[in-house]
Structure 1
Amino acid sequence: MLRFALAFSLLSSPVIAQVATQSGTDGKNALGTVPCAATAGASLQSCNAELRRRDDGAATLAVLLPTGEVRNIYFTNGIPDSSSSTSKLSYETLGDIMVIFIEPGEVYEIPKAALNSQ
């Protein structure tokens, strides 16, 4: 769990510094915030999020977008492979941060360590 607590630390964005936080955990799932943007060109802001892990290494990140919509991003072995959107999902790794893009303009910054298997 220490690894997860350390993963939700200060994050940097080229435009603005954002903070991912951990406000609670049950040892498997965690509540906190992640930097996100819901539309193309929007600035990143702190969005409430819940990371739910399964024993098989899969995880779901549920993010409450500024629009009021909840976006689920599904991971297998730490890699995002789909979402609750029908739009294309892609990602890139920048240092310790995984940046996830869902067309046409959603952006999420996730600490890679938060997605590592326990």
Structure 2
Amino acid sequence: MDVLINVFVALHVIGIASLLGGFLTQMKAIGAGTARFTPAMLHGALTMLVTGIALVGLNQADDQAVNNLKIGIKLAILVVILGIVYVKRDEETVDKGLFGAVGGLTTANIFIATLWV
């Protein structure tokens, strides 16, 4: 079971990298006001959602403790990110504040995952 959990953790990290990487590669575009949500950002967020749900189920099946409050907060943040990216995915440019919010929420999700014990 540990190997399967670690595979899903790796896939979860790949999803995070895709979402945050899409944000970070457009730092110049944010300043110029031409930033947009890329398909990789949407796919990364969806990967995070699917693998996160799988990880909760696998950890519970393995009788490991799951912090439901932490998972609930991370899920709520991810749903907001997904909503923003999904709705604005076809627009040529996205407002700086909205684009920055996705980057900030993604970073917050990473810090919650790593610092909240």
TM-score by length of 1: 0.25
The structure whose residues are more often helix, as a share, is: 2
Q: Which is greater in Rg?
A: 2
The structure whose residues are more often strand, as a share, is: 1
